[in-house]
Amino acid sequence: MKQVLIGIIFSALWASASVATKFGVESAPPLVLANIRFFIAGFILLGFSYLTKTGDNYRLPNKVEWRQLGIFGLLNTSLYLGLYVYAMKNTAAGIGSLAVSTNPLIIVILSAFLLNRKPSLIEILCIVLGMAGIVLAAWPLLENSYGTIGGLLLLLLSMVAVSFASVYYASVNWRLPNLLINGWQVFLGGIFLLPFTFLLSSYDQVNWDIRFTASVLWLSLAVSVVGLICWFHLLRIDAVKASLWLFLCPLFGFAYAWIIMDEPITLYTIAGTAMVIVALYGGQQSRFGTRKE
């Protein structure tokens, strides 16, 4: 029962990032919002780790680990979340949550090329079904100006970036605790993104209002800290079972978008979400079968 509760909390928090980002970009340029979020989350995670944890593992990274953390932070934070916040400027919040849940399927494709893991026919069919579901769910939102083609393309690129990050993470034999890995990667990712933030954005455009403050605090504390702590807890138990909780993200995401952002839920939305969930479930079942063999 404890694991179920932690899984539900993770899904609810992870899906809320789309709506929180939509609110945040109304008060600040996307990259400014992202950078402030990264530094707050990084300081909290690193401070908590080094001040409250003991043991030889809670140390500064060595030369090899700095390189590994830098690559992971560039992919998982700078590229993924940098592109994601820009995409959410011109994309419906519900579509943002729906797209995030397709990561396991994109990882299947990347694993085939980078880890020499050939996808099965079922996995390929699930990928096609999942992508078709996103297009179906997005169609009426595009027609009603809830999203743009450019926004969807940036969202797709962000999903590819985070999938690369996940495959890279799986290929590294990490010796640091998960809290330190996450703290350093999000902090380094913020540093890598900072030059682009200064080049493409202006802090003078930030409205330091309650909407901006609430958005930054929610993204930093609830999503990047609490949400990721839940995620790492689930990963320690079983990585494959942990990814099943991504199935709930579209349901929470569309509910948030409907209640908070007044985005419409149509038959297209329901059908597209159902297709993605079926595709994800089928893909995960295939992975379970592969592991059992």
- Compute the distance between CA of residue 186 and CA of residue 163 in angstroms, rounded to an integer: 16
Question: Which of 27, 21, 20, 36 has the alpha carbon at shortest distance from 87?
Answer: 21
Answer whether 11's CB lies under 8 Å from 249's CB. Answer: yes
According to DSSP H, which parts of the chain are helical? 2-24, 30-52, 63-73, 80-88, 93-100, 103-114, 121-143, 149-171, 178-200, 210-217, 228-237, 239-243, 249-259, 267-292
pLDDT tens, residue by residue, 238-267: 665 676 677 778 778 878 878 887 777 788
Question: Which of 41, 110, 103, 119 has the alpha carbon at shortest distance from 239?
Answer: 103
| HSE-up of residue 204 (Cα within 13 Å, Cβ side) | 2
pLDDT tens, residue by residue, 230-240: 887 787 676 65
Higher per-residue confidence, 117 vs 281: 281
pTM above 0.85, yes or no: no
Q: Inform me whether the pLDDT recorded for 156 exceeds 60.
A: yes
Higher per-residue confidence, 216 vs 249: 216
Q: What is the DSSP string of 227-274?
A: IHHHHHHHHHH-HHHHHGGGGGHHHHHHHHHHHTS-----HHHHHHHH
> What is the mean predicted confidence (pLDDT) over 103-124?
73
Average pLDDT, the chain: 83
pLDDT tens, residue by residue, 117-149: 677 777 778 778 877 887 787 777 666 656 677
pLDDT tens, residue by residue, 160-191: 898 888 788 878 888 998 889 989 999 999 99
- Compute the distance between CA of residue 15 and CA of residue 219 in angstroms, rounded to an integer: 11
| Class of residue 277 by CB neighbours under 10 A (exposed 0-12, middle 13-18, buried 19+) | buried
φ, ψ for residue 101, nearest 5 deg: -75, -5
Q: What is the pLDDT of residue 210?
A: 93
Q: What is the pLDDT of residue 238?
A: 66
* Size of the chain in residues: 293
> What is the mean predicted confidence (pLDDT) over 85-112?
74
Q: What is the pLDDT of residue 141?
A: 65
Q: What is the pLDDT of residue 44?
A: 93
**Per-residue confidence at 64, pLDDT binned at 50, 70, 90?**
very high
| Class of residue 154 by CB neighbours under 10 A (exposed 0-12, middle 13-18, buried 19+) | buried
